[in-house]
Amino acid sequence: MIKREMYLKKIRESYDSELIKVIIGVRRSGKSVLMRQMIEELKQKGIKEDHIIYINFEDYDYIDYTEPKKFHIYVKEKIKDNEKYYLFFDEIQNVDEFEKVINSFRATLNVSIFITGSNSKLLSGELATHLAGRYISIKIMPFTFREYLELKKEKQEKIDIDKSFMEYLGWGCMPQIFNTNSMEERKLYLRDLYNSAILKDIVERNKIKDINLLNRVIQFLMENIGGIISSNSITSYLKNEKIQTTPDTILNYVECITNSLIVNKVNRYDIRGKNVMATLEKYYLADLGLLQLKKSPIEKKVGGRLENIVYNELIARGYEVYIGKTDKGEIDFTIDNFGERSYIQVIDYLSSDEVIQREFGAYKAVDDNYPKYVLSMDKINYSQNGIIHKNVIEWLLEEK
């Protein structure tokens, strides 16, 4: 089992804190494993096992406790003394009115609470109202490339970094994907993941009636990763496919899709005006393996996939990520790290002088001194004029 240190170190200092620890991520990205790793660390610190309460609300054994009153009673009956208890609730969104129960535990018991969910709206509504300033939130992603190589090393596989990266680029890295024994098993695993995310986290939760339309919208987003997308562009595409709908319906479907965390929306940031813009966003997959499910031939161009991997890596590292809008164009990613900004351009190969001029020239409209990077598959260093060029694999394997 790979220890997910990049997430554990973010949350470790809060093990005993009254802050509620909220972990969100797409289905099967490793939230339950991360919880078990936290529980193990608490035991190693000397916390008694009967002071750790864990409930996985995807487990049918706990189906009765998705009713809030029974959930509340069950946990309170487990607490026998005034020492601190550690409460771990996996996929908490399956509990009706869970916000009220969680807030009651926080307000009345000597507890440290950890919750996970597969929906980005976990912190909306009453929970956000009751817990303003009383929680920390961590978004967990499928394995990074570093973690993937750790997995291969743990399995004592011979590691060819370039070959491993192309496999990572093609199949993504959901934690269980490489426990399969064949390509067909991998596809079946991804199909099951896709179906469970669609049915449980989108269709059932949002009472979607037109599942065919939903799948077509997801298909469009998958085929256009890294491209500027609007509800009108999706509506026009569907119209050409003889599917009649409205931009408002598409907006609603896209919101449901992004809430499920299977696809992530990235807003544009006006670098000169210093404000986030609410139109013409980009979308990236939580895991590139889902592209294996496309009905059309798999897109062979590497550029969009590389962008997707860089975006996922930045989120895993805990950055806020935007598309940078300039007067003359855009920067692929504008990154905020507690007020410190940096910029990243992503390209498959700097294959000609024209491409080099375009990628490095994107920064001509950015007149600040924050770090500027160009990432590509090239192994020759093309750094120039204060703009840092890095091989994307080397960048992914950096400690920082």
Name the least confident of 57-66, 80-89, 153-162: 153-162
Q: Is residue 145 pLDDT above 90, yes or no?
A: yes
The length of the chain is 400
What is the biggest distance separating any 2 CA atoms in the chain, rounded to whole angstroms?
71
> Is 0.85 surpassed by the pTM of this model?
yes
Q: Is residue 299 pLDDT above 70, yes or no?
A: no
CA 67 to chain centre: 29
Which DSSP state fits 394? H
* Predicted pLDDT at 275: 64
* Predicted pLDDT at 337: 82
* Predicted pLDDT at 292: 85
Cα dihedral 367/370/374/379 (nearest 10)? 130
- pLDDT one-digit tens code per residue, 171-186: 888 888 877 778 888 8
* Predicted pLDDT at 79: 96
Name the least confident of 56-60, 156-160, 296-300: 296-300
Position 231, amino acid: S
- pLDDT one-digit tens code per residue, 205-237: 888 989 999 999 998 998 888 888 888 889 998
Kindly provide the b/e burial profile for residues 182-209, where b requires at least 16 CB atoms within 10 angstroms of the residue's own CB: eeeebeebbeebbeebbebbbbebbebe
Tokens 């949350």 correspond to: 11
- pLDDT one-digit tens code per residue, 264-277: 999 887 766 566 65
Tell me the Cα Rg of the chain: 22
Q: Which of 34-48, 131-145, 252-266, 355-369 has the highest mean pLDDT?
A: 34-48
Q: Is residue 278 pLDDT above 50, yes or no?
A: yes
Q: Is residue 99 pLDDT above 60, yes or no?
A: yes
Tokens 């544009």 correspond to: 268
Kindly state the average pLDDT of the residues 235-245. 89
How many helices (DSSP H) and strands (DSSP E) are in the chain?
A: 15, 12
Alpha-carbon distances, residue 179 vs 159, 175, 253, 315 (angstroms)? 16, 8, 33, 25
Gap between the Cα atoms of 262 and 283, Å rounded:
10
Q: Is residue 298 pLDDT above 60, yes or no?
A: no
* Predicted pLDDT at 226: 86
Kindly state the average pLDDT of the residues 83-98. 93
Higher-scoring residue by pLDDT: 56, 135: 56
Gap between the Cα atoms of 234 and 239, Å rounded:
9
Kindly state the average pLDDT of the residues 119-130. 69
Q: Which of 43-57, 120-134, 238-252 has the highest mean pLDDT?
A: 43-57
| E strand spans, the chain | 20-24, 52-56, 85-90, 111-117, 135-139, 263-270, 275-285, 320-325, 330-337, 340-346, 372-376, 388-391
* Predicted pLDDT at 297: 44
- pLDDT one-digit tens code per residue, 15-71: 999 999 999 999 889 999 999 999 999 999 999 999 999 999 999 999 999 999 999
pLDDT band at 279 (very low <50, low <70, confident <90, very high): low
Arithmetic mean of pLDDT over the chain: 89
Q: Is residue 168 pLDDT above 80, yes or no?
A: yes
Q: Is residue 333 pLDDT above 90, yes or no?
A: yes
